[in-house]
């Protein structure tokens, strides 16, 4: 077996080669190997300069995630970085692929840095609720300047080699063979007797002491609720105020403080959950899947057009079918406009847009779908229409083609039952706007074959989504839990909380929008139509809660009509409407509810704990296989705050006993039909366990 870090000599150059597939992660063995290699180079009198380079597809791409949550093992990365920088012989880092996190902190401790043009460098620790803990916040501002360091560290976004060169992070960007170029560079260092440059000895200067406060203000909206970005700013500021050694101590203290925080635990949970969610419990990793080389989309509306864009973006040809030419024309025009907006922003080249548009073939004929490998139906949310469409698809599509519905709550088994191939039918629930939202809720029916739902999961990854596999029930995972929140918010509105108050509390909790602002944006007529479709299955109290009905009957459907729960100006800025306040207060009188003051805490508990209780039922019923499946649905489809980790992780953070006690309290207040604890939640609470520690 090859050494993880090998040491060899090329003339007077000592070459340390890291080979720790797949991404040369900074495991304990890599850290120890680099330190040992530098020691060898120091001890060898024939070695005048050293080179750190990596095998495989990338330079060191960050920490070893297998070591997360385990006690740290020596040598610690800050010590390895300091050892490299203190080396009496010059050390050169040669970068390809990505140098991320500790994979950039190692080069920053080297005396020279070169990279191939395709390389990227970055410090993404903020995305795990951390800051760079091995000198990143202290060295980067010294070499790249304070402003650039703040931008890189608080965003966690990697920068390409050319930009890194202009920032001063890299000394040279090279073409062709990296090792040959790196050896030539190392020899030049020796031949020209270039002085060793220690980044720690440079100073991090600021033009104005207000730079840090100004920068914090500039990211306040984007980083709302997160702790780590602002701690990163604090650490970079320290680099401008304290000597390097003292700055390193403070960086370490802040790192450990963040590492112990609930937010970092939540963000690390999200990191792992996103990677784990694609693995289907009970299926082997090498489960056979079907090739998806062409796709049919039914419905050229907002959803169908967005789905078509997802496949075209991934280079997969799409037939976009609708029943009238005018619908097709309108749908294609929207797609073109969406792409043109991206081109105008400079995020997409015109020729790429043209290529993607050429992959979308509009059609009015079902016959054109006869050879596609996958069809996704995105027509009106009505079971009779869905069944009619699937009957036609069943007759036209080739054997082995997957027939999927984009339904957000209808029963997939009922749809599959009218076909001759129920094993090939499933749900693929995209979220609007489909070309932007990352979640794909894949719904397996009772008869869906493992090959089919494994294919849907693979397709999800191919088109850049975060796919989650769920089972059949009304609303699946996301909308079923949302229904509980919607009900409780509706009840609280009757009992004393106005919509803008509920919205503010949930916005402050961390959601991008409150439920009523969101309803206005999506269109209240959508929720109203769903309410009418399900009216007979609602409880008496829900049926009597006619606030939404009254608002919609006034023609107030939200932003698109200039008024909904809120009223809107021509720029769609919302303001609370006294007319709606009066309507709600009168409604409470009509149904005999005495309004009262409802605390922020009650709003959070009834909105969030009702969802958690429903999530526990979903786990018990096997609709979701794991709590992480539920968390990922809510994180990527419904805007649950990343720094809280998802509803089930958040429940564990709060403590299930506390959630359980609150459910009993609301059972007495609201009624047992709404607030009976799920047996799983009750069991875990009484055992002192959590959803993730069962």
Q: Catalytic residue among 85, 105, 377, 614, which? A: 105
* Residue 172 designated active-site: no
Q: How far apart are CA 629 and CA 436, in angstroms?
A: 20
Spatial CA neighbour of 430 closest among 557, 295, 544, 532: 295
- Is there a contact between 393 and 366 (Cβ–Cβ < 8 Å)? yes
Kindly give the interhelix angle for 146-155 and 211-218, rounded to the nearest 10 degrees.
Answer: 30
Query: Nearest 5 degrees, angle CA 64-CA 66-CA 69?
Result: 105
* Residue 274 designated active-site: no
Kindly give the interhelix angle for 627-637 and 262-276, rounded to the nearest 10 degrees.
Answer: 100
Query: In the chain, what is the straight-line distance between the N-terminal and C-terminal CA atoms, in Å?
Result: 39
Query: Nearest 5 degrees, angle CA 631-CA 129-CA 65?
Result: 75
Q: For residue 202, count other CB atoms closer than 10 A to its CB.
A: 14
> Count of residues for the chain?
694
* DSSP string across 286-345: T--------EEEE--SHHHHHHHHHHHHTT--EEEE-SSHHHHHHHHHHHHHHHHHHHHT
Q: Please report where in the chains the tokens 């919509």 appear, as a residue.
A: 499
Q: Catalytic residue among 125, 251, 488, 602, which? A: 125
Q: How far apart are CA 90 and CA 605, in angstroms?
A: 59
DSSP state of 433: S
Q: In what order do the strands lie in the sheet with 159-160?
A: 98-100, 120-122, 159-160
Q: How far apart are CA 328 and CA 576, in angstroms?
A: 38
Active-site positions? Answer: 105, 125
């Amino acid at each position: 077996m090859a050494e993880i870090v090998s040491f060899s000599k090329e003339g007077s150059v000592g070459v340390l080669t890291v080979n720790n597939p797949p991404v040369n992660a900074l495991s304990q063995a890599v850290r120890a190997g680099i330190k040992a290699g530098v020691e060898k180079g120091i001890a060898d009198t024939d070695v005048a300069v050293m080179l750190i380079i990596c095998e495989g597809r990338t330079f060191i791409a960050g920490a070893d995630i297998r070591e997360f949550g385990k006690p740290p093992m020596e040598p610690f990365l800050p010590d390895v970085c300091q050892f490299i920088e203190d080396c009496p012989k010059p050390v050169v880092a040669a970068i390809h692929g990505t140098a991320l996190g500790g994979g950039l902190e190692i080069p920053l401790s080297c005396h020279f840095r070169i990279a191939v043009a395709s390389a990227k460098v970055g410090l993404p620790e903020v995305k795990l609720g951390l800051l760079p803990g091995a000198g990143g916040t202290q060295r980067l501002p010294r070499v790249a300047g304070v402003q650039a360091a703040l931008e890189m560290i608080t965003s966690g976004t990697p920068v390409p080699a050319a930009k890194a060169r202009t920032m001063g992070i890299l000394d040279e960007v090279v073409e062709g063979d990296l090792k040959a170029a790196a050896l030539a560079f190392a020899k030049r260092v020796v031949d020209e007797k270039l002085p060793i440059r220690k980044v720690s000895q440079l100073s991090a200067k600021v033009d104005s002491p207000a730079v840090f406060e100004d920068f914090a203000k500039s990211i306040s909206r984007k980083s709302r609720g997160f702790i780590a970005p602002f701690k990163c700013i604090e650490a970079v500021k320290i680099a401008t105020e304290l000597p390097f050694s003292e700055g390193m101590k403070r960086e370490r203290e802040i790192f450990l403080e963040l590492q112990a925080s609930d937010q970092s635990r939540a963000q690390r949970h999200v990191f792992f959950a996103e990677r784990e969610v694609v693995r289907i419990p009970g299926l082997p990793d090498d489960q056979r899947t079907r090739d998806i080389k062409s796709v049919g989309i039914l419905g050229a509306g907002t959803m169908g057009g967005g789905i078509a864009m997802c496949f075209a973006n991934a280079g997969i040809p799409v037939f976009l079918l609708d029943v009238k030419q005018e619908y097709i024309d309108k749908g294609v025009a929207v797609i073109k406009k969406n792409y043109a907006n991206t081109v105008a922003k400079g995020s997409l080249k015109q020729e790429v847009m043209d290529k993607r548009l050429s992959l979308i073939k509009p059609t009015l004929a079902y016959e054109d779908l006869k050879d596609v490998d996958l069809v996704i139906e995105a027509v009106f949310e009505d079971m009779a229409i869905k069944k009619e469409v699937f009957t036609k698809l069943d007759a036209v599509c080739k054997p082995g083609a997957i027939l999927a519905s984009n339904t957000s709550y209808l029963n997939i088994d009922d749809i599959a039952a009218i076909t001759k191939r129920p094993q090939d039918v499933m749900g693929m629930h995209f979220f609007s706007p489909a070309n932007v939202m990352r979640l794909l809720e894949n719904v397996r029916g009772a008869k869906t074959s493992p090959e089919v739902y494994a294919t849907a999961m693979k397709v999800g990854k191919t088109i850049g989504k975060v796919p989650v596999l769920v089972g059949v029930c009304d609303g699946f995972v996301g909308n079923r839990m949302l229904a509980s929140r919607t009900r409780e918010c509706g009840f609280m509105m009757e009992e004393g909380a106005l919509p803008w108050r509920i919205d503010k509390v949930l916005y402050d909790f961390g959601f991008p929008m409150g439920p009523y602002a969101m309803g206005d944006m999506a269109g209240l007529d959508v929720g109203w139509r769903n309410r009418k479709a399900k009216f007979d299955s609602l409880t008496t109290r829900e049926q009597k809660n006619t606030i939404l009905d009254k608002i919609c009957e006034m023609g107030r459907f939200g932003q698109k009509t200039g008024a909904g729960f809120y009223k809107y100006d021509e720029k769609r800025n919302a303001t609370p409407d006294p007319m709606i306040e009066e309507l709600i207060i009168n409604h409470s009188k009509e149904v005999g509810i005495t309004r009262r003051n409802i605390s922020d805490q009650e709003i959070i508990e009834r909105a969030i704990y009702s969802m958690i209780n429903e999530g526990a039922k979903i786990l018990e019923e096997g609709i979701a296989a794991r709590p992480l499946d539920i968390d990922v649905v809510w994180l990527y489809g419904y805007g649950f705050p990343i720094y809280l980790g998802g509803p089930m992780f958040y429940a564990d953070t709060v403590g299930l006993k506390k959630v359980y006690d609150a459910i009993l309290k609301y059972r007495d207040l609201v009624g047992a039909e709404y607030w009976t604890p799920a047996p799983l939640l009750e069991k875990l609470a009484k055992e002192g366990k959590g959803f993730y520690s069962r």
